[in-house]
Structure formats: structure tokens, C-alpha cells
Structure 1
Amino acid sequence: MTTQMKFAARMDRMKASEIRELLKLLEQPGMLSFAGGIPDPALFPADRFAEAYADALSPARQAQALQYSVSEGYLPLRDWIAGRMAGLGIPCGPENILITSGSQQALDYLGKLFLSPGDTALVQWPTYLGALAAFNAYEPRYERLEINDNRPAAEITAAAGDGAVKFAYLSPDFANPTGRTVDRAGRAALLARAEELDCAIIEDAAYQGLRYEGEEVPPILALELTQKGDLDACRTIYCGSFSKTLSPGLRVGWVVAGAEVISRLVLMKQAADLHSSTINQMAIHQVAKAGFDAHVSGLRAVYGRRRDAMLRALAAEMPEGVEWTRPEGGMFVWLTLPERVSGAFLLEQSIAKEKLAFVPGQAFFADGTGGNSLRLSFSNSSEAQIAEGIARLGRVLRQALGE
């Protein structure tokens, strides 16, 4: 007889990640996958990490590397991040930075910090499903945040609904899942709207460094700092990560915010896991300071060619009625299918007939719509694999359309 545990009501809103489940398919022989937004492991600076860990475990440093540490994070790494942020137009000190176990932990903490049951979170439609998973535990309502969506930049739909609007969440650069970027006018309009609603802005900058064409757009926090001149007066909270540039497996991210937000997040960190892995932070710091810019430049070159290969293949293989985004950076292309085609059904057919995996779009919509869409990732496939995979997708799509 199974004991019936009395779980919290929030568990009803927590569901398995479709992407994490799809990753299990990669072990099937002959399977091509555009599913996970995964960096190419062949591009990891593995030799530099080997040297960094050897140095961290040297007699002079091993006590620090293997011991408990402060919840805020390894100070030399926070100093390095502060220098990077200054280069983005966000001057700050290490006291404005908290190291987290990946930016995913930061999203969980921020959901916990701001959301009470019934509060409103503004998110793009579609949005990063990991953010929805993190926020769902705190039982919010979701409202659409639409920016530069075939409308004037200053017109932003952000209805308060029945609950207080606590924050607007977005990934403004090469967003997951769409690959779209919010332009400068859209960012300024969002800041104005957040002032009207008196809510925070959570700026998820996981892909900010992976631009392949076009001009850089200042982070939202940089624009707000220009207006207000004081980080403590800003409502924007910047979330960064090394997962897409140096290594996702080390789980090192960071938050930049005013003193009050950081102090409250530190309390959460102390209660949750005390601190992020010290030796991983030490390794990230050593590798980053030794050549971060050169490494990211190499990533841009490789991933940029793969993006181009996917866009060429889509233009050659997609049947009439299929539309897709043309991202300036990041890892994703978003497809919108004819309304009669279900992305979930297409995935089922694609796996069975063509051994091709991708992510159906419905999981990225807070209201479960978007059934006729899908996300493709180009970062972990060679140009030849991309050409073959898109040809397979074209075949299964034409079959689904009866062509």
C-alpha cells in the first residue's frame, strides 16, 4: 500500500521539462537533435579548465577551494564580473553581485523574492520554459508582455489583471525560444512601462555575448542606470551566466542588482545551499581572466556559420506556409507552422520516420497555446548535420501537409 503524502498545492503547477525529457533521445542511433539549447562540447576550453583545477588543488590553494565559503561568491570572480559589467555600461562593485548555481537558480530565487500566490508576472509569449518552471512554484498569474511585436515601440501590452504586477521577465538578446532581440526603443519603452506599473524587470542575459551580426544594444540595466545614475535606484535585475560561453556543467551564474535585492537574495542563498561550489568559481575565474574574449570570439565564428547554415537550409527545404525567425545571435530559430499542423504531432512523426528531434512550441507559452510552432537549436550540430536535419524536417512537414 502506497502512503499518500500531503504535498503542497504548488506541486500541481510543477511539471517535467520537455527539453530534459527529449535529451534522452540523443542516445538513439542515427538521431539528429535540434532540441536542447546546448553548447558544443568540442568548443569547451577543457585544457584550460584542467589547468585551473590543478591550480585550485595545489597545496597553496586547496584549503580555500575545498572549504565552505561566503554566500555572495568568490570575491576575485565577482571583481572580474564587475569589470565586465562596467564594459557593458553597468558600473558596479562586487557588493552588487551574487554568484548563483547557474542563472536558473537566480530565476528561482527571484520568483521566491517577488511572487505571492495570485501575483502577476509579465512574460513574453512565448518565453523561456525554464523561467515558467521556476516561477510556477510560487503560483503567479501570467500576462503577456509584448514589445515591438508589429506595433509602435512605446505600446506595450501589460495588463495588471487581478493580481499586483511584480515583475516583467524577458531575455532581450536572441531570446530563448524565438531568437528575437528587443531593440533600444523597445527597451526604453519597457522601462517606462515598468515605472508606470511600479514593478521590477528581470533581464535574462544568458545569450548576450553571442552576437553574430548587427550592432550591440545596451542592456536594459545600462539604459536605466543612464537615466537614474544609481544602481540602488534601478528596478532592473540583470542575470548573467557562463553556461553558454565557458561551461554549463559547472553551474556558475550571477545576479547584478541594487543592494537591497542582493542582500535578500543572499539570505535565500544561505538557506538554500550556503554557497555555490568554490572550486568551480575559482576555475571559472582563472579561465575567464586568461582569455574570455578570445574564446567567445571563436564561439561566435562557429555558431554564426551554423546559424547561417540553418537559415539557408530552411529557405531551401521548408514548404509554403512555414515562417521562421532570423536571429542576429544566440542558439535558436523559431518556426511557425500552418495552423492545422501540431508541433507535438510533428515531433512524434519526425522521431518515428526521420530520427529528428526538436522542441514543440507549446511548452513555451504560459497559457498552453502555440501548438503550431517549434524551436530549433543550431549550436550543437555541424553544418552538414544541420543541412541533413532540415531536409528531414522538410520531408516530414510535407507529409503532414499532404504534399
Structure 2
Amino acid sequence: MMDWQQVLATRSGRMKASEIRELLKLLDQPDIISFAGGIPDPALFPAAAFRDAMDRALTGPMAGAALQYSVSEGYRPLREWIAGHMASIGIPCAADQVLITSGSQQALDYLGKLLLDPADTALVTWPAYMGALGAFNAYEPRYDRLDPKGNRPAEAIAEAAEAAGGRVKFAYLSADFANPTGETLDRSGREALLDLAEALDIPIIEDAAYQALRYDGEAVPPILALELARKGDLDACRTIYSGSFSKVLSPGLRVGWVVAAAPVIQRLVLMKQAADLHSPTLNQIATEQVARAIFDEHTANLRRVYGARRDAMLAALARHMPEGVRWTRPEGGMFVWLTLPEGMEGADLLARSLKSERVAFVPGRAFFADGSNGNTIRLAFSCADEAMIEEGMKRLGRLLRAV
């Protein structure tokens, strides 16, 4: 038999199965109460709107274009809609400054490929979205902790990167309702991050997958909007904005986008050409039609439903968690982050929970680049109604008391 190990690239050893992807298999077990998958509720998908959009795309004069090869940059009417949407959140841009990707996950993979050489340093939050770590891992980086409000001096960060054999290449974070913590970086923290990036002369990757899902509190301008206010020209900005329709319209159609300075977009287009030529044209056409017709109304309904579930989870946690358990209070998004007493291990707790209480969640260790902080777990409330949340937190609290 072929010995595949002898021909695999060294970077393949850094590729690991996603704990979330594995946990999603539990959703097929009807007796499991799952807070594991950070996914939108399929009952809220605008299925009828997409059915009508697909029908129009395939039966009208656009049918040939919908099924044909297309430009790598993406379907222009969709890029024009995105440009208008970006302007509404403080980031005026042209359609040519937008690249359509196959979900924001593809954008993260491309940016890792574009920016990282082996031993280079990626600054990431502690914890960080595990999908970003998985995307970057293939390019063999070193990770350092990003704390915009209390970071080490830029010189110390750069010196540590140089001592490790590379240089600092970018800072990555989700500034709004981050996965996994649900926390939001305030304006002063965003301004401090821009200052740090200027001092290190590095780009910022702003992962904005949850930006439209704010339930309360005052909106904070995106990092790219703040940088635009400083510099006045998108092509002078170092922030790379990664957006997605996955959390608000449909994850299955895999439509995301990047807004960035022209040199970045040009390089990413070359990567897109080499990787998959372009994202599916039919999906882009349908997404543009649905976004143009119902985006504001639909996202308002999502905020109402998910906001009520967030409230239900916070209230249930307050009722059922034992002393010594702490949790975040997100203003939006899909997640609450629990910190358990020292010495408790989230993975062990999950094993016991699945056996005795039939409640699923994600152990927190996978979200840390160094595999630390095992006494944390992530709870997702997006796919659970209020009765499920109440029962699930009751069971989880009972298990924690027993442990």
C-alpha cells in the first residue's frame, strides 16, 4: 500500500478535525439538547425568497449566465449591493474593492496563504475563532496573544517574532460579538488596535461575520470605518474586512466577501482564479436578489428572535449555575462563554454531560492557539428555543454541582 505519510507536506500535520464539525453530528440524535453548533436556525432561513430567486435566475434571460463560468471577482450586481451595504455601516467603497468568496472561511484561508510564511507570527485573540486558527495553521505560523486594550509594546511583539524566526504579519479578530466569547471590542480598543498595527506596520483582518446581529447596546463603528475616518481613502487602509451572508441569509450557499485596498483585492483575485475560478454564479445571483429585497426586514426579525434566546440563556444561567461559574453577557451574536472553576476540564465535562445529561456544548480549549484554558466552554443559543434553553441550563447546572 502507498505510504502517504512520506509524501505529505509538513503543513498537513497542523491540520486537525474541527471539534464543532464533529459535534454537529450529535444534532441527529433527538434526545440531545445541543448548544454546540454556532449555526443559524434553519427555521428562520428565507427559503421562499431563495426559491423564487432561483426560479427567476433559471427560467428568465439570466439562465445562461447563472449556469456559466463567471469572473473571479464575483457577480457585479451583488458586489454593488455589498458596496451600498458597506457604505451604510461607515465604509464607502466601490464594487471593484469587493471580492466574493465562498463564505468568509475561504477568505481566511486565502489571507493566511497570502500573508504567512512558516514561522511568521499571527496576532490573535485569546480565545479566537477556531476556524480561523484552522485556516491559518496550514501556513505554519507562530501565534502571539492580541490584547488591543493592554498589549505589550509593539517593539516587544516584533522582537519576539524575530527571535522565533519570522516577523509579525497580521492581527486577526472578530470585533463584534466574537466567536467564541460573544464579546465586543469597544471603540477605544479598536483605535488602540489601529495604533498597534501602524506601529508594527501590519494589516488587521476584521472578521465581521456577526456584525448585523446586535440586540442591544450602542453600535460601534467597524475597525475599517475608523481607519477610513483617519485616512480618507480605502486604498490607504491596512484593515481587511471579511463579511458573510452565512449567519443572516444562508450558510449553505457559501457566499461571503472581502473589502480591502486594491493591492489586496488584486492578489486575492489571483488566488481565487487558481483555487476555484469563482464562487457559484447561481448562488451569487440568488443572494443578490434576496439581499436587495429583504435584507433589512429579515435581519430585524433575526435580531428579535435571537435576542430573545440570548435573554433566555442569560436568565437561565443566573438561575441554574452554581457559584464559581462565570459567563459573558453578549450584546449580539450567537454565543455565551462560560469560565468554570480552576481545575475543571471542559472536554471531560462534555463527555460526562453527553452520558448523563444529554447536553452538548463546545469545550473551550480548542479556541486557544496554545491549547490552554481547558476550564472554559462555549454555549450557542441560536438554534434553541426558550424551553430547550431552560431545560438545558437546568441539566448543565445539575452536572456542574455534581462535579
TM-score computed with the length of structure 1 as normaliser:
0.97
Q: CA deviation at 1:120?
A: 0.4
Which position in structure 1 is the counterpart of 2:401? 398
CA contact (8 A) 2:154 2:200 kept: no
Q: CA deviation at 1:158?
A: 7.4
CA contact (8 A) 1:79 1:94 kept: yes
Question: 2:372 is matched with which residue: 353, 369, 373?
Answer: 369
Deviation track 1:248-274 (CA, whole Å, cap 9, x = no partner) reads: 000000000010000000000000000
Structure 1's consecutive aligned runs of 4 or more residues displaced over 4 angstroms after TM superposition are 153-158
Code of the aligned partner of 2:381:
F
1:156–1:35 CA distance, 2 compared to 1 (3 A) = farther
CA contact (8 A) 1:146 1:158 kept: no
CA contact (8 A) 1:177 1:332 kept: yes
1:154–1:218 CA distance, 2 compared to 1 (3 A) = farther
Which position in structure 2 is the counterpart of 1:382? 385
CA contact (8 A) 2:194 2:227 kept: yes
**Counterparts of 2:270 and 2:312 in 1: how far apart (Å)?**
46
Deviation track 1:207-240 (CA, whole Å, cap 9, x = no partner) reads: 0000000011000000000000111110000000
CA contact (8 A) 1:145 1:157 kept: no
CA contact (8 A) 2:327 2:336 kept: yes
CA contact (8 A) 2:210 2:333 kept: yes
Which position in structure 2 is the counterpart of 1:22? 23
Code of the aligned partner of 1:385:
M
Deviation track 1:170-212 (CA, whole Å, cap 9, x = no partner) reads: 0000000000000000000000000000000000000000000
1:289 aligns with 2:287: no
1:305 aligns with 2:308: yes
CA contact (8 A) 1:154 1:185 kept: no
Q: 1:55-204, aligned counterparts within 5 Å? A: 55-148=56-149, 159-160=157-158, 161=160, 162=164, 163-204=166-207
Q: 1:233-272, aligned counterparts within 5 Å? A: 233-272=236-275
CA contact (8 A) 2:334 2:380 kept: yes
CA contact (8 A) 1:144 1:157 kept: no
Code of the aligned partner of 2:104:
S
**Counterparts of 2:169 and 2:111 in 1: how far apart (Å)?**
10
CA contact (8 A) 1:146 1:157 kept: no
Query: In percent, how many aligned pairs have the same letter?
Result: 69
1:328 aligns with 2:331: yes
**Counterparts of 2:22 and 2:243 in 1: how far apart (Å)?**
25
Q: Which runs of 5+ in 1 are unaligned?
A: none
1:317 aligns with 2:320: yes
**Counterparts of 2:95 and 2:60 in 1: how far apart (Å)?**
27
CA contact (8 A) 2:180 2:337 kept: yes
**Counterparts of 1:172 and 1:215 in 2: how far apart (Å)?**
14
Report SS of the residue matched to 2:336.
strand
**Counterparts of 1:316 and 1:110 in 2: how far apart (Å)?**
43
**Counterparts of 1:357 and 1:126 in 2: how far apart (Å)?**
20
Which position in structure 2 is the counterpart of 1:229? 232
Deviation track 1:140-191 (CA, whole Å, cap 9, x = no partner) reads: 000000134xx5x998897232321110000000000000000000000000
Number of residue equivalences: 397
Which position in structure 1 is the counterpart of 2:3? 3
Code of the aligned partner of 1:182:
L
Report SS of the residue matched to 2:249.
coil
**Counterparts of 1:268 and 1:227 in 2: how far apart (Å)?**
30
Q: Which runs of 5+ in 2 are unaligned?
A: none
Code of the aligned partner of 1:388:
E
CA contact (8 A) 1:14 1:133 kept: yes
**Counterparts of 2:154 and 2:205 in 1: how far apart (Å)?**
16
Report SS of the residue matched to 1:159.
helix
Q: CA deviation at 1:2?
A: 4.8
1:387–1:155 CA distance, 2 compared to 1 (3 A) = farther
Deviation track 1:284-309 (CA, whole Å, cap 9, x = no partner) reads: 00000001000000000000000000
1:188–1:157 CA distance, 2 compared to 1 (3 A) = farther
